Every structure is written in C-alpha cells, then in structure tokens.
C-alpha cells in the first residue's frame, strides 16, 4: 500500500522592496547600475595604469642593464675594478636605481655602489645561480610587509668571444610606482563617490520629473473616477508611454462618463415606467366596477405601452452591460 505524501505548499516569495515607491526602486536600480559601471571603469583604469607603469619599469630597467653590459665588458676583462666602481656609483645616483653591482665570472662582487656588499659572496652566488643557463633574469624584492618594494634585473656580461666574463645586477625602486598607484586608487575612489552621489541626485530628480509626477496625476484622477467623478482630465505634457497612457485614461474617462450617464437615465426611465404601471394597475383594480369598457381599454393600452418601454430599456441595459465585458472567459 502506497502512502501518499502531503506536499506542503510553500508560501509565495515576496518580491524585494515591495514597501517602497516606484520612484525609489527606479532610483535604486539606476544608482546600482551607475555604481557597477563606475567600479568597472575604475578597476580598468587602475589595471591599465599599473600595466603601463610596470612595462615602463621593465623597459627602463633592461635598457639600463644593456648599457651597463656594453660599458662594463672591457673594464671587467682588464680587471679595472676602479672604473667599474665609478660606474656603479654613477648608476646609484639615479633615483630610479637602488643598487648597482657587477660580478666576475665566479660570482664574486667586484664593484658595488655600497662597499659593504662587496664582502657578501653568498649574495653574488645567488645571482649567479639565478642566471644559470639564462640570458637575463628579473624578480621582485619582497619587503617585510609582503609587498614588492623593488625589482631586481640581472644579466651576463660577455666578451668579444661571447664568453661570460661577469654579471651585472641592478635593483630598481618600485616605491614611486606604488605611490602613483595609491594616488590613482584615491582619485578613483574620490571620483567614484562623487559620481555615485551625483548620479543618485540627478536620477532622483529626473525620475521625479519624468515618472513620479505623471503617475501621481494618474493616481489622483483614478481615485476620483472610483468615487464616480468622471470630470477629471489628465494634462498631457509628453508623447512617451506615460503620455499615451494619459490619453488612454482621458478617453476611457469620457466613455465611462457617457456610459454611466446613459445607465442613470435608463434606470430613471425604467423606474418611472414601473411606477406608472403599478399606478395604472392599482387604478384598474380599484375602479374595475366603476369605469366603462372604453376607459378600461385605455388603461390597458397605457400599461401595455409602459411594459414595452420597460422591455426596450431592459434590452438597452443589457447592451450597455455587454460593453463592460465582465464575463469570465477562462
């Protein structure tokens, strides 16, 4: 025996913002759209600037490395370390470069803008290992806060026989890039907030002018119609959908006024004819013995005429009722 499960009907989900006005919902929707577009534009601007500055940093870094490779090849071959140190010191005077170093083929520092680094062979060996089998190498220098603070460029220096005679290592500062990106983010956020606020205000004003006022006018006119006042006419100021709606409302209001006036007149005539029939019927019954046959026939003709009038007016009411199309066609 199968037991049927009772499927409990779930209550219908209520749409969001049902308690808010139409203008508020339109304003909110357009404001959210503006917010999304501004966020997308701001993110695209930030990523484009970041990509452009990093490309410029890479291009400038490798260009400097290429120049050092050319200038340091001959002094390194002749072990002219004094000239190499002058070269690294001159490079370090550029705010773009934090450190400049030249290593020999064994991976030992032979020139550096900071003399204390010359006594750290382990750092030179790490540069040599990073360049093992590579023509050039670049990597980020991560600071204590986990962000990239510098970019290290390394490349081999080759002699006339295309033999590696040493290495060049440059560390360029990324703080100016980070500062510019942070300034870009602040500008984007500032413009974003201004655009959202201005968009909210302008959207609210436009919707109040274009939607709220015409809708309120239609609502007030409809409320008057519901009380039986068909004299209200909506003023049409636009040719858009709301304007066409106002025209349709005015046409409907006029037709309803004519229709209800016709109904009222027909009902009044029916009441008058019914009263006349009742009155003549009572007179006919009261004076049945007293009136002659001719008078009785006249009364019956009048009753018959009033009854036909009632039939015609009933048909007219039926035709008027059909204009409402109130029957359920489902």
pLDDT at 180: 83
In the three-class reduction of DSSP (H, G, I as helix; E, B as strand; rest coil), residue 293 is classed as helix
End position of a domain, from candidates 154, 182, 210: 182
Cβ count near 91 (within 10 Å): 22
Q: How large is the angle between the packed helices 241-286 and 213-226, nearest 10 degrees? A: 0
Residue 265 placed within a domain: yes
Reported as half-sphere exposure (CB side, CA atoms, 13 A), residue 216 has a value of: 9
End position of a domain, from candidates 145, 161, 182: 182
pLDDT at 63: 92
| Residues 90 and 235 placed together within one structural domain of the fold | no
Residue 8 placed within a domain: no
Closest CA to 170 of 36, 309, 57: 57
pLDDT at 291: 52
Reported as half-sphere exposure (CB side, CA atoms, 13 A), residue 3 has a value of: 2
DSSP 162: S
What separation in angstroms does the CA of 121 have from each of 110, 187, 308? 10, 45, 125
How does pLDDT run across 42-87, given as a tens digit for each residue? Answer: 888 888 888 888 898 899 999 999 999 889 888 888 888 899 889 9
| Whether residue 328 has pLDDT greater than 50 | no
Poorest-pLDDT segment among 174-183, 250-259, 297-306: 297-306
Residue 176 placed within a domain: yes
Distance CA(219)–CA(158), nearest Å, equals 87
| Whether residue 95 has pLDDT greater than 80 | yes
| Whether residue 286 has pLDDT greater than 60 | no
CATH, residue 163: 3.30.450.20
Number of separate domains in the chain: 2
Higher pLDDT, 211 or 105: 105
| Whether residue 14 has pLDDT greater than 70 | no
| Residues 100 and 156 placed together within one structural domain of the fold | yes
pLDDT at 1: 44
Boundaries of domain holding 254: 228-324
End position of a domain, from candidates 182, 201, 236: 182
pLDDT band at 283; cut points 50, 70, 90? low
Closest CA to 270 of 229, 239, 316, 238: 316
């Amino acid at each position: 025996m199968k037991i049927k499960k009772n499927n409990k009907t779930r209550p219908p989900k209520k749409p969001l913002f049902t308690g808010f006005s139409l203008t508020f919902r339109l304003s909110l929707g357009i404001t959210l759209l503006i917010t999304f577009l501004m966020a997308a534009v701001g993110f695209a601007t930030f990523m484009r600037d970041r990509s452009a500055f990093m490309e410029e940093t890479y291009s400038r870094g490798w260009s400097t490395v290429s120049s050092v490779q050319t200038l340091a090849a001959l002094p390194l071959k002749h072990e002219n370390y004094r000239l190499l140190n002058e070269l690294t010191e001159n490079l370090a005077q550029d705010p773009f470069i934090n450190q400049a170093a030249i290593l020999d083929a064994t991976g030992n520092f032979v020139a550096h803008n900071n003399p204390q680094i010359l006594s750290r062979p382990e750092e030179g060996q790490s540069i040599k290992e990073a360049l093992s089998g590579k023509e050039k190498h670049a990597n980020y220098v991560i600071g204590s806060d986990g962000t990239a603070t510098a970019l290290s460029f390394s490349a081999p220096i080759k002699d006339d026989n295309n033999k590696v005679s040493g290495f060049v290592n440059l560390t360029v500062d990324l703080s100016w890039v980070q500062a510019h990106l942070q300034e870009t983010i602040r500008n984007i956020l500032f413009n974003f907030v201004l655009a959202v606020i201005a968009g909210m205000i302008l959207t609210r004003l436009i919707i109040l002018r274009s939607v709220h006022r015409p809708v309120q006018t239609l609502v007030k006119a409809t409320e008057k119609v519901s009380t039986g006042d068909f004299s209200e006419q909506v003023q049409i100021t636009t040719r858009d959908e709301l304007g066409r709606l106002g025209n349709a409302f005015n046409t409907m209001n006029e037709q309803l006024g004519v229709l209800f006036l016709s109904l009222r007149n027909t009902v009044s005539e029916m009441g008058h004819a019914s009263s006349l029939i009742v009155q003549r019927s009572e007179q006919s019954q009261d004076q049945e013995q007293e009136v002659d046959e001719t008078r009785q026939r006249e009364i019956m003709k009048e009753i018959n005429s009033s009854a036909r009038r009632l039939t015609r007016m009933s048909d007219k009411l039926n035709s008027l009722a059909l204009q409402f199309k109130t029957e359920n066609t489902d």
